[in-house]
Structures are given as structure tokens and as C-alpha cells.
A and B are shown apart, each in its own frame.
Chain A
Amino acid sequence: MHAARNIRLCTKDCVCLFVCPTGATDTETGQIDFEKCLDGCRLCVDACPSHAIYLVNDNYASPQIKGQKTKAMLLKMAENKAEQEKIAAGIAREAKSPEVRQLAKALEVSSRISTEDCLREAGYMLPQGAEVKQLLRALLNSPHEDLPKETIQRLLDLL
């Protein structure tokens, strides 16, 4: 568990520079040096008057195990929303006016966000979760010729 800085909240009181035992908070990047940060130390987290520093977990609580029926229905809804995104992208590409293209782009972005939300709730919330790893392994064995296998393998190694 290491500390991280939310630069949006940071007001440069810089108490973190003083309390940190290793100098991990003293960088020119705006972010804490995760390599130098001591596991679970949290001195800077508790010292910051702006609540700009927080701890990033190594392990997250497991998300709720989804009911099979709900999961299947959400996956189906995700497909419907992905189809909406595809239609919107098609309209945007063929648009004859800037207004049509703009509206179609907005619909395309909106559909993507809604599709993501359905998939997240269908069990693909946490990248470290068993569902995601299972999916990545299945993808690795899928028959696409130009599949970026090394990308998938690297993800499996990192997660």
C-alpha cells in the first residue's frame, strides 16, 4: 500500500515533504515516488491539511458475485448499447453537416460509457478479479490472426 497525491486538491502546504521518512514526497513530477514510499506508512496522508494524499491499496475487496441471470441480462444489454455506439459511429462517419456529426459523436461517447457501466456490473469491475483473468486467458486462445498476444500475456503477468 503506497501513498499517492491528487494534484487537484493539493494546495502546496508541503507538510508531506517534512514528515516523509524517505523523501518519496519530494519529486518534480507532482506525484509521489512509489518506489521510495514505505508500505502503509501513511504519515503524509494524515499530515496533509488538504486531504490531497491517499493510500493506494495493493489488494481490493472482492466485488459482489453476480447472479447468473442478472449477469446474462446485463451482458445482453451491453451488446444492445454497443450496437448503439456502432450506429452512432456510422452516422458520424457519413454525416453531411457538422451538427449531425456532433450529435452522432455525442451519442457514440454516451453509448460507450453506458456499455462500460453494464459490463462493469456484469462482473468486470476489478482488473485483478478472477473474471478478468479468465477472460484474458480465453482471449489469448481466440483465433484472430493479428491478435496482440504479447499485450494480453503482459497483462496476465502484471495482474
Chain B
Amino acid sequence: MDDMHELSVESLSALCSNLAKACSKQLRTEEASLFDQLASYYKSKSKLPEGKQFTDYSALVLKELNKDYAEISQQAAADGDRGSLRALTWGEKVSKILKSLLDRYEKQKDSLLENTNVFVCEICGFIYIGNLPPEICPICKVPGFKMMKIQKESV
């Protein structure tokens, strides 16, 4: 298995946190907790970069929007891989929204987030700025209670 050598500690952490969720769905609590421990372990091995800006984040999103989503979708369609196409469809929509959100942030700066709340859809990653979460996620259609509120913390 070569995957392991290619996967970064950050990817391994996400792989394990996702498997923890999968185990919880099957009510396998011990396995879920073990995968969570592994996810934390790999996350602790990640070295956070210094001096990064939101524009660095945007640049990576833009690369996906310009090229990656189209290329992978073409390949997945050729494979008849509905699951991957679904993930890519949601992913592309989320990326477009993140890009436009970050473009708005560059213009309005912190005032974009003053006197309002920020929510993230736990299922697809959609980010919403507003007082109350939407009734359903506009991208993956889960009910609003699956929107996680991101707290504003003092620095």
C-alpha cells in the first residue's frame, strides 16, 4: 500500500476523523474514540505555517475551481462513479461560495463579520454568515440544526 507514503499527516488526520464519524454512525463507540485519538495524533504532527493570509487560502481554492474539479469530474464520469461526482459537485459549490466570501472579506474586512454569526454545515462545509442558520443547507439540503455555529473569541 503506497497511499500511506503519499498522504500527509494532515490528510491522515482527516482520514481518521472521518472514520471516527463513520464508526459513530454504526454506534461503534470504542472504534470511534480510537480513530479520534489517531486523528488528534496526526494533527499534533502538523506544523502550522506562519504569516499566511486569507489570499493564500483563496489561491488554493481558485486552483481547484479553475482546473481540478473539471478534470476529476470528467474522470469520475468516465468511471460511472456517482459517489465521487456527488462529492465534486458539492465541493465545487462550497469552493465557489468560499471564494466569493473571501473576496467580500478583502473589500469589507472585519465589518463583514460584525454584529452577525458564522455557521458551517457539518455535512458539506458550506459557510453562512447571518444571524440565524438557514432552514436547510442550500448545497446539501440537510436541516439547519446541522449548521455549526463558530464562536467569536477574543484574541
Closest chain-B Cβ to A88's Cβ sits at a distance in Å of: 6
Tell me the dominant secondary structure on chain B's binding face: helix
Pairwise interchain contact B122-A67, C-beta atoms closer than 8 A: no
Within 8 A of B (CB), among A43-88: 56-57, 63-64, 66-67, 69-70, 73-88
User: Of the candidates B17, B91, B113, B126, which one forms a contact with A118 in the assembled complex, judged by CB atoms under 8 Å apart?
Assistant: B91
Pairwise interchain contact B152-A99, C-beta atoms closer than 8 A: yes
Tell me the dominant secondary structure on chain A's binding face: helix
Within 8 A of A (CB), among B1-43: 1, 3-4, 6-8, 10-15, 17-19, 21-23, 26-28, 30-31, 34-35, 37-38, 41
Interface bits B115-139 vs A (CB < 8 Å: 1, else 0): 0001111111111000000000000
Chain B residues at the A interface, C-beta cutoff of 8 Å: 1, 3-4, 6-8, 10-15, 17-19, 21-23, 26-28, 30-31, 34-35, 37-38, 41, 45-46, 48-54, 56-57, 60-61, 63-64, 68, 71-72, 75-76, 78-79, 81-84, 87, 90-91, 94-95, 98, 105, 110, 112-114, 118-127, 148, 150-155
